[in-house]
Chain A
Amino acid sequence: MSDTARSQGAGQPPMLEVRDVARYFDVSRPLLQRLLAREGKRTLRAVDGISFAIPRGTTLSLVGESGCGKSTVARLAVGLYGTTRGEVVFDGNDLSSARADAAQRRRMQMIFQDPYASLNPRWRVLDIVAEPLRAFGLLPDRAAREKRVGELLTQVGLSPADGQKFPHEFSGGQRQRISIARALSSNPEFLVCDEPTSALDVSVQAQILNLMKDLQRRMGLTYLFISHNLAVVRQVSDRIGVMYLGRLVELAPSETLFEAPRHPYTRALMEAIPDLDMTGRERIPVGGEVPSPISPPSGCAFNPRCPLANDRCRRERPGMTRAGATLVACHAVEEGRDRQ
């Protein structure tokens, strides 16, 4: 189904397109303290110029270490944050104008990381799942709404009777199912999933991922999937973007990325995946620490930790270049130094 969805999507604009988007945060200390300490404003570059597009019915995953800006991208993609630079285009329209229109806003939804914080503890599940229905005035009749909530709960593997319960009566995995039911209730086409499984047990993670894939197949959903777990990402993605310090360093079809990672950072991440075959073999960890996004290194942000870094890497910021099916931002790959 996801293939048919993709072929239908041919000629149409992508579900979401992100063009050279940056988002900076002002993390300065209060004015008085700043004057006393004689320091300037401090800007945190959470996202610093990234571009990608997600065709309809497909999944793009963003992976990266904590603090690399992937959650910021998720929030930019649904308009929770405005952009500092660049534009986000939702189905051919500028995102902020699309969000001003309830009929467009209904088409995008978000699933969050922490199943213990994403449901209002004082609301019944019925009201939580029905909230988008009420907000968009989709089913004004109360009985019809309750029926729809029952269907949604069944769809995510819960029982319609669960609608009468409160969130604290459910486990983490069940709560995440409730979150998914809420996100689905307004019949969205585009779902942003911000680490939807990272707070769950491994066995439950697989269930939730299978549920999400199943829903995508049946409803032709488009996902922007945020995760730090490469194994999870491999299971769900059509394409994967690797982020480092607010920038996209590699963007490739899922299998290509795993079979032939190009960027030195991606390769280091692959090295770090736990693997039974590799038990006992020596691993080469990525040396050093992630630099601060407040004062990122000049040139390529990865250069202090990169085994292939040279003077050009320290001076000049690499742009995205095509290498086969892969887009990669690395001078070494561009110059062929990575193959030596």
Chain B
Amino acid sequence: MANALSRALDSDLWYSFSRSPVTVASAAVALVCVLGAVFAPLLAPHNPFDLASLNLMDAFNPPAWMEEGNAAFPLGTDDQGRDVLSAIMYGARVSLIVGLSAVVFSTVVGVGLGLLAGYLGGTTDAVLMRIADIQLTFPSILVALLIDGIVRAALPPEAHEGIALYVVVFAIGISNWPQFARTVRGSTLVERNKEYVLAARVIGLSRVRIMLTHVLPNVLGPVLVIATLNLGFAILAEATLSFLGVGVPPTQPSLGTLIRIGNDFLFSGEWWITLFPGIALVALVLSVNLLGDWLRDALNPRLR
């Protein structure tokens, strides 16, 4: 749709991107993480979920470069004989899926409610923003824990297993919508009094149509930045929940699950089981956050 505009924007963005070595480096790291996760079934040296290929004789192999290392397991193996590198690649998949879905979820909820609050104003605005304020007084990880706890208590364990992934996505997503809603509300308050919105009102367009076709496209800029920064948060939140044992089921271990499992062996000397998933998590979250920081600065006209 916005061909000429997007081209102009792209060129500006590209310029500021290529001039920042930190950003280029974090983009490269993020890209490696994402590609490794997406193509894990093709790239991973082993399939950690294929029970037939697991051999307990391979358990607790240290990384390949150490004395007792085995070249078939570059980063060593865990207590079940699973290849740590492969487990990380599959685990990053789960982490990214949960993180992205949660961000999409909170973006949709937050942008929708923020738009309503900002455009309609009055009681709608007051009610929605007080709910957001109240929720912001709780740490978001607490909100996520609470929701997870409620669902766990309400459902039998078998049923919970099947929907655990969705529960985590919902819990993380809902704990983070106020940030989107507040930002969008703020920009909506500015946009709704601009004359192009008045022109649409003179024509007699419905409020929903004005919100969706006029206001929404003009408030999405900051949302992109928050969404990127929130991706890092969502991945971390998922890892925290999984580390605490209330996240995704152990049959689909995420990076957080791997760290928790490895944690049990930390003091018996098998440090690689927990360290490498940890490094992968830090690399992924840090690179995403640095990209988000850069995007925020690059899109801020005052810093140009």
Residues in chain A within 8 A of chain B (CB atoms) = 75, 78-80, 99, 102, 105, 108-110, 112-114, 117-122, 131-132, 135-136, 165-166, 179, 182, 186
Establish whether residues A99 and B204, one from each chain, have CB atoms under 8 Å apart when the complex forms: yes
Chain A hits for B217, CB < 8 A: 120, 122
23 contacts between A and B (CB under 8 A): A75-B198, A80-B198, A80-B202, A105-B204, A109-B202, A109-B203, A110-B198, A110-B199, A110-B202, A112-B195, A112-B199, A117-B195, A120-B196, A120-B218, A121-B218, A122-B5, A122-B217, A122-B218, A132-B203, A135-B204, A165-B4, A166-B4, A186-B203
- Complex Cα distance A109/B218, Å? 24
Chain B hits for A102, CB < 8 A: 204
| B72 at interface, CB cutoff 8 A | no
| B57 at interface, CB cutoff 8 A | no
Q: A113-B195, A182-B199 are in contact. Are A122 and B205 (CB under 8 A)?
A: no
A151 to chain B, nearest CB (A): 19
| B200 at interface, CB cutoff 8 A | yes
Chain A hits for B202, CB < 8 A: 78-80, 108-110
Residue of A nearest to B218 (CB): A122
- Complex Cα distance A109/B200, Å? 10
Chain A hits for B199, CB < 8 A: 110, 112, 118, 179, 182
Chain B hits for A110, CB < 8 A: 198-199, 202
Residue of A nearest to B220 (CB): A122
Residue of A nearest to B215 (CB): A120
Interface flags, B110-145, vs A, CB<8A=1, else 0: 000000000000000000000000000000000000
| B52 at interface, CB cutoff 8 A | no
Chain A hits for B198, CB < 8 A: 75, 80, 110, 112, 118
How many residues on chain B are close to A (CB under 8 Å)?
17
- Complex Cα distance A136/B198, Å? 17
- Complex Cα distance A78/B203, Å? 10
Taking each of B2, B201, B202, which has the highest tally of chain A beta carbons within 10 Å of its own beta carbon? B202
Chain A hits for B214, CB < 8 A: 120
B195 to chain A, nearest CB (A): 4
Establish whether residues B204 and A117, one from each chain, have CB atoms under 8 Å apart when the complex forms: no
B8 to chain A, nearest CB (A): 9
Chain B hits for A117, CB < 8 A: 194-196
Q: A120-B218, A166-B4 are in contact. Are A131 and B195 (CB under 8 A)?
A: no
- Complex Cα distance A186/B202, Å? 12
Q: A80-B198, A114-B195, A117-B194 are in contact. Are A122 and B203 (CB under 8 A)?
A: no
Establish whether residues A118 and B196, one from each chain, have CB atoms under 8 Å apart when the complex forms: yes
Q: A108-B202, A135-B203, A135-B204 are in contact. Are A166 and B196 (CB under 8 A)?
A: no
Chain A hits for B5, CB < 8 A: 122, 166
- Complex Cα distance A105/B205, Å? 11
Residue of A nearest to B2 (CB): A122
Interface flags, B203-223, vs A, CB<8A=1, else 0: 111000000001001100000
Residue of B nearest to A108 (CB): B202
A194 to chain B, nearest CB (A): 9
Residue of A nearest to B204 (CB): A105
- Complex Cα distance A182/B199, Å? 9
Chain B hits for A75, CB < 8 A: 198
Chain B hits for A80, CB < 8 A: 198, 201-202
B18 to chain A, nearest CB (A): 24
Chain B hits for A105, CB < 8 A: 203-204
Interface flags, B50-84, vs A, CB<8A=1, else 0: 00000000000000000000000000000000000
Interface flags, B181-203, vs A, CB<8A=1, else 0: 00000000000001110111111
Establish whether residues A131 and B4, one from each chain, have CB atoms under 8 Å apart when the complex forms: no
Residue of A nearest to B205 (CB): A135
Chain B hits for A79, CB < 8 A: 202
Chain B hits for A78, CB < 8 A: 202
Residue of B nearest to A169 (CB): B4
- Complex Cα distance A110/B218, Å? 22
Indicate which residue in A109, A118, A166, A186 contacts B195 across the interface (CB closer than 8 Å). A118
Chain B hits for A182, CB < 8 A: 199
A118 to chain B, nearest CB (A): 4
- Complex Cα distance A131/B2, Å? 17
Establish whether residues B203 and A131, one from each chain, have CB atoms under 8 Å apart when the complex forms: yes
Chain A hits for B196, CB < 8 A: 117-120
Residue of B nearest to A186 (CB): B203
- Complex Cα distance A119/B194, Å? 9
Chain B hits for A99, CB < 8 A: 204
Interface flags, B1-39, vs A, CB<8A=1, else 0: 010110000000000000000000000000000000000
B228 to chain A, nearest CB (A): 21
Chain A hits for B205, CB < 8 A: 135
- Complex Cα distance A120/B196, Å? 6
A172 to chain B, nearest CB (A): 13
B154 to chain A, nearest CB (A): 39
Closest A-B pairs by Cβ, 3 of them = A118-B195, A112-B195, A122-B217
- Complex Cα distance A121/B195, Å? 11
Chain A hits for B218, CB < 8 A: 120-122
* Further contacts, 4 of them, CB under 8 A, given A80-B202, A105-B203: A79-B202, A108-B202, A109-B202, A135-B205
Chain A hits for B201, CB < 8 A: 80
B214 to chain A, nearest CB (A): 6
- Complex Cα distance A120/B198, Å? 11
- Complex Cα distance A132/B196, Å? 12
- Complex Cα distance A40/B294, Å? 49
Indicate which residue in A114, A131, A166 contacts B200 across the interface (CB closer than 8 Å). A131
Chain B hits for A131, CB < 8 A: 200, 203
Chain A hits for B203, CB < 8 A: 105, 109, 131-132, 135-136, 186
Q: Which of B234-254 contact A (CB under 8 A)?
A: none
Q: Which of B278-302 contact A (CB under 8 A)?
A: none
